[in-house]
Structure 1
Amino acid sequence: MFSATITYIIKSARRRWRRLKSLRRVDPIIHGEEVISLPPINTATGPKEFGERGLSHLEKYRRLGTLDHLTEAIECFSRALAMTPDDNPDWQNWLTKLGMTYGERFRRLCTLEDLEKSIEHSSRALASIPDGPDISDRLAILAGSYGDRFRLLGDLEDLDKSIEYNSRALAYTPYGDPAISYRLDNLAASYNNRFQRLGNLDDLKKSIGYNSSALSLTDGNPSLSYRLNNLGGSYMNRFQHLRDLEDLEKSIEYFSRATALTPDWHPDVSSRLTALGGSYDARFQRLGELEDLEKSIEHLSRALASTPDGHPGLPNRLAALGGSYNARFKRLGNPEDLEKSIEYQTRALASTPDGHPDLPARYFNYALSTLSQYDSTSDISHLHTSLHSLRTASHLLSGAPNDKFEYALKWASLASQYPHLNILEAYQAVIDLLPQFLWLGVTANQRRQKLSTTSNLAVSAACAAISSSDYSLALEWLEYARCIAWNQSLMLRSPLDQLQSSHPDLATRLETIANQLHNSTFEVQVVARWSDATTCTPEQAGQQRLRLANEYHSLLTQVRQLPEFEDFLQPVRVNKLIRAARNGPIVVINCHTDRCDALFILPGHDNVEHLHLPNFTDQKAQQARSDLETSLRYMNRGERGVRRQLEESISMDEDRLESVLSVLWNDIVKPVLDYLGYSNDVPSESLPHITWCPTSTLSFLPLHAAGDYTQSRSRVFDYVISSYTPTVTALLDNNPSIPDPDCRHLTVGQANTPGHSPLPGTTQEAAHIKARAHHLAQYSQLLDAQATTTSVLDAMEHHHWVHLACHAHQNVND
């Protein structure tokens, strides 16, 4: 009777609290528990009483945020569960409540153990009754816990499960149910998280769709401003990805509406103002309208004014406002704006704890402001401060690899304008960060997208090293960056794939840590409407990031101690690259927008030699390529196997091709031959061999055919035999002087292809190859009618080398 009375009192207090939302009326009831002894554990009404007490403590926690109440709730639900047989309908209920409460404590303390218990209990509850009236609630709770674990550990499988359970929760929620808008919110957030991680626009499209649906169901609801803000954020994400101005305009529209509906006393007002100020700043950066910058400063100032000291969002708001003031200083030149920019950036830096993932951004923004100080005052000390900040932003262990790579790349760009910023150090930071940026923790789709960011990196870094007369470093950087690009474009095995083959456990652990480090938005935010707290404090987030970063570098050290992995994720050193020159000189031509240079790897030489080619640049190469393509179209020789009608707009200049070949001869090939001493050699039957390794646009031009065809002995093939290689490293793995009896060689020959001109030489060509190769490798061939598309593709799967003596079709659009 006594325990039943307590249960009744607690239930009544909870009902009254929900109705009146007055803590004064519920405090005496809750506090009364402290003086009422708990009933014996074997009392029949015990489980229900503990459960009701747990709910009361949980509601008190949600109202006050007092951690003791959350701990008491977990204890009560645990005892209720322990006292309830698993065939009792309440057993699943207590499992659900316990899983939910552990999830809330995780969001408060950021303890992985709590999160694992939340997933465990929620999964058991769902498995015990796969259907039922509260199935959608159980699915939503489990989805939230998996989403939390993804944000903590970065495992994509957790994110996929979060999407799966959120989708099922939505499917089980009938239309018209008040919870359906929240299900839409959660699913939109999950898809947005996956977009942020994988960059798949389809996920962002779904996120926008679900956000829009949630908004359409919200009319006069207190959640209206929340959903408007979510939709504004989704459009901002898409603008940042696609740069479509319409998305930015929608982002401003929804952020504005959300802010207008948010009263000054609301805990989210500062974050709403920050988002709106950031969107105006983005439009200023895009359109250059000063009015947008003024609005950005206005809203960011209001956001900062409403942010108390110690708030987790304070550093970000200080940094944003400092950036806007720096932009206005650059536009108007008012020294007061620069002073404010420095002030806010300094405060932002000081309020960001060590190890926090945003710390590199703070240093980078501070570097930009101090660089503006140098521009304004010519005080060299400001340049030194900027260099220190740029260096720190690119090297901090806690930063996300994407962010640090971006800062290092911008540092290198700035260093090309300010010599004191040490351009070689900047590019070294870029090269060091390249494997994390492109390989580790990155999907294949992301890697393809990122290649555009690094398209000019290899040539630019090499150009900087060449300008500093460090030719060995130039070759190492050029090779490393180009090898990564070639491996990706040809879908070859990554360094991690190679490690996975021989040391799978180590490779898996390294990839897991890399995935976690790529989660730049590391902190887990509370989404419950009753709290404005941040779950993981900035200090906790920083400590976790540092732990992961230290483990990552420890794993790299272990890998590099393994045989054949000494250079894992590092450039191949020049003392290895020079071994590639076995059959003659290798000439690497670095073709940059500012200059063109040849790097020589010569047999028997230990050093990389250099020749500046002053009459050629990448701009000249682009013009030569355009002229070559125009000439080929004029001669109806564009895409192999395709006949075109002559285009009236094409000039009838038949000398265009000869002009291109003459430019290549005079500006590149002849100076190289002169340097090597080949120009004065007497012709012989045995010509020396050169391997060309061109870069940039020069890769599309025929160096092997260069020459002045109006003069005698003024063509490259008068002096040397030419070959090409995409990288020097590719030649290191090829040693034709050592026959491999297990090597399988396939020759495909077709002299007469329907619809094409005859190729009578292919039969003789195949015979010569067979005579040379059959005793060095396992040789096979497919000739004439045997060489069908299906038979050739099948045979290629089982051969190491394929020689094609037939017509070819090139897809010029791929």
Structure 2
Amino acid sequence: MASDQNSETGQRTVSEPEEQCLDSDSHANAQDLSGLGWSHLEQFRDTGALGDLKQAIVYFSRALAFTPDGHADMSQQLADLGASYIDRFRRLGELDDLEKSIDYFSRALAQTPDGHQDMSQRLADLGLSYCDRYWRVGNLDDHDKAIDYFSRALVLTPIGHPDRPRRLEDLGLSYRDRYRHVGEPDDLRESVNYFSRAVALTPDGHPDMSRRLACLGLSYRDRFRYIGDIDDLEKSIDCFSRALTLTPDGHPTMSDRLADIGSSYTDKFRRMGELDDLAKSIDCFSRAIALVPDDHPNKLDRLADLGMSYTDRYQRLGNRDDLEKSIDYFSRALALTPDGHPDLPRRLACLGASYNDRYRRVGELDDLEKSIDYSTRALALTPDGHPDMIQRFADLGLAYRSQYRRLGDINDLEKSIDCFSRALALAPDGHPTTSGRLADLGVSHNDRYRRVGELGDLEKSINYFSRALESTPEGQPDMSERLADLGVSYSDRFQRLGNLDDLEKSIDCFSRALALTPDGHPDLSRRLSCLGASYCGRFRRLGDLNDLEKSIDYRSRALMLTPDDLPDISDQLANIGTSYSDRYQRLGDLVDIEKSIDYFSRALALTPDGHPGTSGRLADLGVSYADRFRRVGDLDDLEKSIDCRSRALELTPDGHPTISDRLADLGMSYTDRFRRLGELDDLEKSIDYFSRAFALTPDDHPDKSGQLADLGVSYSDRFQRLGNLDDLEKSIDCFARALALTPDGHPDLPRRLACLGASYCGRFRRLGDLDDLEKLVDYRSRAVALTPDGHAGMPRQLSGLGSSYIDRFRRLGELDDLKKSIDSFSRALELTPIGHPDMSERLADLGVSYSDQFQHLGNLDDLEKSIGYRSRALVLTPDGHPDLPQRHLNYAFVLLNQYQHTADSSHLLNSLNSFRSASQLLTGAPRTRFLNALEWANQACDYGYLNPMEAFQTTIDLLPQFIWLGAATKQRYQDLPLIEHLAVNACYAAIQSSDYSIALEWLEHTRCVVWNQSLMLRSPLDELHASHPDLATQLKTLANQLHSSSSETSQILLANPSDLMTPEQVGQERRRLADEYYNLLNRIRQLPGLEGFLQPMKAKGTTHIAQSGPVVVVNYTVMDATTPTSFASAPVQAESPPAINFPRHIAPPAVLASSIDEPRANFFRHGRTRTSSDVAGANSNSTPRSSQSFRNDVDFAMGEYGLGRSGDAYSAATRALRSKERTISTPSSRALPSR
């Protein structure tokens, strides 16, 4: 502003109003003009009419223009004009008016001599202008100047002077303003002190009493906000109420008085939670805004005040209309706030917070982006050291946390932690906001724990939440939130470490939080949901159905209280879906699984694309589809389960704590599909996923037990599929470790016991160790005892126990065990719902026991029951099911039993058909089909109607799938004892049918199986290479890889020596290569001229053996124990075509017969378990009977009778010497057929 004194000419510069005065009335008296100016100024101050203010400025300007330099009134004239300009600034907010007021007051002070009675007033006037400029511009220097001028003015004002209260008021105002800027509590204390003294010195009825009371009320409110003493808040409301009462209607300050008391009611609502206080604040703010003209600078404050109250009501009641109003008022307030205004950061922050609230309510990313933008700008405009800096960091931290939860970018989470940490660092000890800042930081550390899985973050969250709770006064509305936050972290720590004490703490915290949450509060649904989650966790840990029912009740109430358009609705739907899923798994009611699928589907549909929660939604839905598949058997549900779980895994980032859960879930679905369709690839995938899940699960994690159990199940399944004893030992190890990690009282304990029992069952059936038998009975008995009545898993537990009893009956012959098995199987059947996929297994089990009882007691009623149960089991087993061949085998045996009793040949025909199906249905595992075919062949030796030639041909055709290249060499030798009599028995059957060519072929096909496979891999491929070089190269490469992979080393180097394959990977790679090798062989054998490529030699191909005389092949079996069976091949003439002659049976000399041990008189009949001595032989890791004495016996027989050492004849003789008894096959581990 230009000075009224020209620096160059020394002449006064006349302002525009002054020029108007001179032009209009050059003879006016300055004193009279000044009087007129004060009259208009007082009128403006009473009514707020801008016309009066304009006239006051005109008259004061004219008075100044007519006051000569050096006149005693010059100081007063300047001060009057300065007072008018500061009033106009306060009315219109024009910074130029404020600058003029400072200029006029400064000049007035300069022209006031020391000791003058007006010096105090001049200092106070200038202090007020600097104070206003501080509030307008935010320069702390102006504030310090104001305090300096006010302090000097107070010193110059004597005690008892009428202006003394005003001086105290001015100084109190300055200290309060500096406190608000710097946050120094000493300034706050001084402001209360000065305002209190000012009020005490102001007589009743004085016009300034209202303003002084309001000032004191503001300082009390500031102290409440800093210290949190409710007494200060009550004092502020009292002061504001008295000030409002003393303010006449229509007074310009009425709006300020209403706004002041409205703010205190807002604080009281936030402190005490009474809706009545919130209603009063909205009423006061609404009345205040109605009294403020649109062009008044205070308009933006009133808009912001009302916007804040609507925000509070939205957060308390959840009415979206209140949220929209708050955004509207904040937006209008921001639009009216000029750039550079000190309140601009607050306006931006308020609007940013409301956009964050609307994002949480509606889920629109645009609102979240606005929230971050406004919060960032607000922080950037807030000067360092400003008390509001704490809230600015907190607001931005909240926005970043919301964005992290929506988009999953961990950088946003790190930013939120940084913002909250800086906000906490800026909060002085004892500050009322400290509790909120601690809670904010605790929430973000909890989020980071859930994302990264670091226990340190979880411990920090508990620490911050505990401190936040301690610093929250009793009765404060935030107490509920503090308790809920702490409950969440205790719940997370329970899930991570499994400590029941943490679970109980979480339930206590959530219960107290719920009790403190009033009806109608928006957080009520969240409180109910959290408590429901903790009860669900306790059910899963302790198995108490009451906890599960409470979980469903709380979560149902939470869902009902959640508006349909709230983003949280998807969480609530997923939560209740989880509880229904748990109840289905506990009670088996299909209605519950349908509800869970419905809730999970709705939750997924409401989860936006890209949301971090999508993975969890898919995983939840995948669990329920898997459960429904297991209950109903619909393959479509299984495929849906795999799809959901695969997508969930894809959406879960590496390093996420839930990645192990996702892997385990997918592994379980592949396990289910393997058990349903029998594809080995699905089983390999399940082992891979379970292994990865196990590796990613910390050793001290409660889920470790489940991961071990899952892996044990897959190893057990693979043992049953491939027969590898290593898999059985791995399953026992996994189940034993899982059991050791499962605490007493855990609902999964029965399942752990049952699984370990099942593995011991497999080992007993394979090796025959009685100790394993006793263990399996013990574990399965304990599993049944620990399974509560009504549990959905009870039928399976009873079925397992029944199988254990029948195993012990077959081993020890105790009839009581047989009775127990029938009882267990009957109860299992009774508890299995109609239509359940396990129904066929229940029926089959019961049929087995009744068949055994018939064989033991000869009661025809038992036979009829066995036939009935096995028939129904067969009917209920769907086409394509891997268990269908086993059902046919069981049925074939019971029909055979029926034939034995009735001699009705139709039963034999039906038995034959079932034997065929049991051996030839491709849905069964190759190993199972081979063993079934072997059973058929063994029975066909006794019952010619069962077509022994077809039975043995089927068995021999399946032999390469039983002793197959995909198994390690060790396993193949372990499997050899199971087929050691196949060659001679098949040969005998062919001789009995007078098909000597087939007899010789079968001997050739079944000799030295493992050795011949190794030779096949190293066979020259000249013929193939000549016609199909590419196929020859492929086959040779696969053969070399397969030969190398048969090594028993624990680790095999890959192409890169730094990479090592685990034994598991080696086995999977070997099986993959074997499949590729066989598939390529089949392709080659489809080519013309290559039909017999690498096939075992046909009969006509063996004639080259007889080059110098006839060859005699001796075949000795227990089926013709009186004399060995032999046949001869004539010598080959050099010029004649090859020919074979089988003239007759030849009885060999007695010396050969004497070299062969007489067979056991009491050889095992079919269907009996082998003795321990037989089992011991089967478990040998060496080639059966490979001792030198055995070889000497063979040499003696061969040399003495001129059989020679040619390979085929030597092998045949060796086989003959080994044929001491017929082989007894190992029954299936799932359903044991009786013979």
Give the Cα–Cα distance (whole angstroms) in 1 for the partners of residues 867 and 687 of structure 2: 43
Partner of 1:14: 529
Q: Does 1:165 align with 2:689?
A: no
Measure, in 2, the Cα distance between the counterparts of 1:432 and 1:662. 33
Residue 95 of structure 1 corresponds to 615
1:386 to 911, 919, 944: 911
Which of 569, 582, 591 is equivalent to 2:1115? 591
Alignment of 1:684-695 (within 5 A): 693-695=1209-1211
- After superposition, the Cα gap between the structure-2 partners of 1:162 and 1:328, relative to the gap in structure 1 and judged at 3 Å, is same
CA contact (8 A) 2:1114 2:1216 kept: no
- For the 8 Å contact 1:96–1:122, the answer to whether it is kept is no
Which is strand-richer, 1 or 2?
Answer: 1
Match of 1:349 in 2: 874
Instruction: Confirm whether residue 622 of structure 1 aligns to residue 1156 of structure 2.
Output: yes
Matched, 1:115 2:637: no
Q: Give runs of aligned pairs for residues 277-296 of structure 1, distance below 5 A.
A: 277-296=802-821
Aligned counterpart, 1:270 = 795
Q: Distance in 1 between matches of 2:674 and 2:728?
A: 18
The alpha-carbon deviation at position 379 of structure 1 amounts to 2.8
How far has the Cα of 1:392 moved from its partner?
Answer: 2.5
Could you tell me how far apart the structure 2 residues matched to 1:80 and 1:363 are?
A: 48
1:189 maps to 2:713: yes
- C-alpha distance in 2 between matches for 1:356 and 1:552: 26
Measure, in 2, the Cα distance between the counterparts of 1:97 and 1:495: 57
Q: Does 1:482 align with 2:1007?
A: yes
CA distance in 2, matches of 1:467, 1:139: 57
Equivalent-residue separation in structure 1 for 2:1098 and 2:921 (angstroms): 25
Whether 1:461 aligns to 2:986 is yes
The yes-or-no answer on 1:211 pairing with 2:735 is yes
Match of 1:789 in 2: none
How far is 1:492 from its partner?
4.7
SS of the counterpart of 1:694?
A: helix
The match for 1:605 among 1138, 1141, 1152 is 1138
- Conserved 8 A contact 1:198-1:443: no
Counterparts of 1:126-275 in structure 2, within 5 Å, are 126-127=653-654, 130=655, 137=661, 140-141=664-665, 144=668, 153-155=679-681, 157-170=684-697, 172-174=698-700, 177-197=701-721, 199-216=723-740, 217-275=742-800
**Shift of residue 296 of structure 1?**
1.6
Question: Is the contact between residue 239 and residue 248 of structure 1 (CA under 8 Å) also seen in structure 2?
Answer: yes
> Partner of 1:502 in structure 2?
1032
Secondary structure at the counterpart of residue 82 of structure 1: coil
User: Once the two structures are superposed, what CA deviation does each residue of 1:510-547 show, in whole Å capped at 9, x if it has no partner?
Assistant: x99xxxxxxxxxxxxxxxxxxxxxxxxxxxxxxxxxxx
Q: Which amino acid aligns with 2:891?
A: Y
- Superposed CA deviations along residues 38-87 of structure 1, whole A, max 9, x for unmatched, are 57xxxxxx5x6545544444544554544575376357447646244xxx
> Is 1:472 equivalent to 2:472 in the alignment?
no
Question: What SS does the aligned partner of 2:877 have?
Answer: coil
Corresponding residue of 1:806? none
Q: Contact (CA 8 Å) 1:585, 1:691: kept in 2 or not?
A: no
1:586–1:692: 8 Å Cα contact kept in structure 2?
no
Paired with 1:663 and 1:485, the residues of 2 have a C-alpha distance of: 25
Quickly say closer, same or farther: Cα 1:257–1:275, change in 2 above 3 A.
Answer: same
Q: What is the 5 A alignment of 1:64-83?
A: 64-67=591-594, 69-70=596-597, 73=600, 76-77=603-604, 80=607, 82-83=609-610
Higher RCO, Cα 8 Å, sep 6+: 1
Query: How far off its partner does 1:607 sit?
Result: 4.1
CA–CA distance in 2 between the matches of 1:431 and 1:661?
28
State whether structure 2 residue 939 is matched by structure 1 residue 424.
no
Partners of 1:136 and 1:173 within 8 A in 2:
no
Q: 1:351 to 1:240 in 2, by over 3 A?
A: same
Secondary structure of 2:1111's counterpart equals strand
Q: 1:654 aligns to what?
A: none
Please state if 1:439 is matched with 2:964. Answer: yes
Q: Residues of 2 paired with 1:369 and 1:403: CA distance?
A: 19
- In the superposition, relative to structure 1, how do residues 313 and 125 fare at CA in structure 2: closer, same or farther (>3 Å)? same
The separation in 1 between residues aligned to 2:876 and 2:1019, in whole angstroms, is 40
Specify every segment of 5 or more residues in structure 2 that has no aligned partner in the other structure, as ranges: 1-317, 321-357, 363-521, 536-546, 584-590, 630-635, 1043-1075, 1159-1188, 1218-1235
Pair 419,467 (structure 1): closer, same or farther in 2 beyond 3 Å: same
Deviates further, 147-156 or 275-284? 147-156
User: Using the alignment, how far apart are the partners of 2:821 and 2:744 within structure 1?
Assistant: 29
Work out the CA distance in 2 between the residues paired with 1:331 and 1:148.
Answer: 37
Asked if the contact 1:300/1:317 (under 8 Å) is kept, the reply is yes
Paired residue secondary structure (1:452): helix
Q: Structure 2 vs 1, CA of residues 396 and 100 (structure 1 numbering), >3 Å: closer, same or farther? A: same
**1:335 corresponds to which of 834, 838, 860:** 860
- TM (norm. structure 1) is 0.62
Q: State the shift of 1:555 in Å.
A: 8.7
List per-residue Cα deviations over 1:465-484 (Å, max 9, x = no partner).
11211111112222122263
Letter in 1 for 2:600: A
Counterpart of 1:87 in structure 2 is: none
The structure that is helix-richer by fraction is 2
- Aligned residue for 2:1126, secondary structure, equals strand
For the residue of structure 2 that corresponds to 1:613, the secondary structure is: coil
SS of the equivalent of 1:291 reads helix
1:416 match: secondary structure? helix
Aligned to 2:652: 125
* Partner SS state of residue 1156, structure 2: helix
Residue 393 of structure 1: how far off its partner (Å):
1.9
Q: Give 2:480's aligned residue.
A: none
Instruction: Please state whether the residue corresponding to 1:312 is helix, strand or coil.
Output: coil
8 Å CA contact 1:621, 1:698 repeated in 2: no
1:366-389 deviation digits (Å, cap 9, x = unpaired): 222222222223333333332232
For the residues of structure 2 that align with 1:146 and 1:407, how far apart are their CA atoms? 26
Deviation of 1:305 after TM superposition, in Å, equals 2.1
| Residue of structure 2 equivalent to 1:368 | 893
Shift of 1:289: 2.0
Q: Report the secondary structure of 1:247's partner residue.
A: helix
CA distance in 1, matches of 2:1207, 2:735: 57
Residues 58 and 69, structure 1, Cα contact 8 Å, conserved in 2? yes
Report the alpha carbon displacement of residue 218 of structure 1 after superposing the two structures with TM.
Answer: 2.0
TM-score scaled by length of structure 2: 0.43
What is the rounded CA distance, in whole Å, between the counterparts of 1:433 and 1:393 in structure 2?
A: 12
The Cα offsets for residues 761-785 of structure 1, whole Å up to 9 and x where unpaired, read as xxxxxxxxxxxxxxxxxxxxxxxxx
SS of the equivalent of 2:835 reads: coil
Letter of the structure 1 residue corresponding to residue 529 of structure 2? R
Is this contact kept in 2: 1:126–1:138, CA < 8 A?
no
Amino acid at match of 1:693: A
- Provide the rounded CA distance (Å) in 2 between the counterparts of 1:149 and 1:339: 34
Q: Deviations over 1:261-308 (max 9, x none)?
A: 223422222211111111111111112222222222222222222223
How far, CA to CA, are the matches of 1:490 and 1:358 in structure 2? 35
Q: 1:168 to 1:392 in 2, by over 3 A?
A: closer
Structure 1 residue 236: deviation in Å?
1.1
Provide the aligned length of Structure 1 versus Structure 2: 587
The residue type paired with residue 839 of structure 2 is L
Q: Matched residues in 1 for 2:694 and 2:910: separation?
A: 51
Gaps of at least 5 residues in structure 1 are 40-45, 85-90, 513-550, 625-649, 651-656, 674-688, 702-814
Structure 2: distance between partners of 1:343 and 1:58: 40
Aligned partner (choices 907, 922, 926) of residue 397 of structure 1: 922
Q: How does 1:504-583 map to 2 (within 5 A)?
A: 558-562=1083-1087, 565-567=1090-1092, 571-578=1096-1103, 580=1104, 583=1107
Match of 1:300 among 825, 833, 840: 825
In the TM superposition, what is the alpha-carbon distance from 1:315 to its structure 2 partner?
1.5
In structure 2, relative to structure 1, the CA distance for the partners of 1:347 and 1:199 (3 Å cut) is: closer
Higher Cα Rg, which structure: 2
CA distance in 2: counterparts of 1:75 and 1:587, whole angstroms: 79
Q: 1:724 corresponds to which residue?
A: none
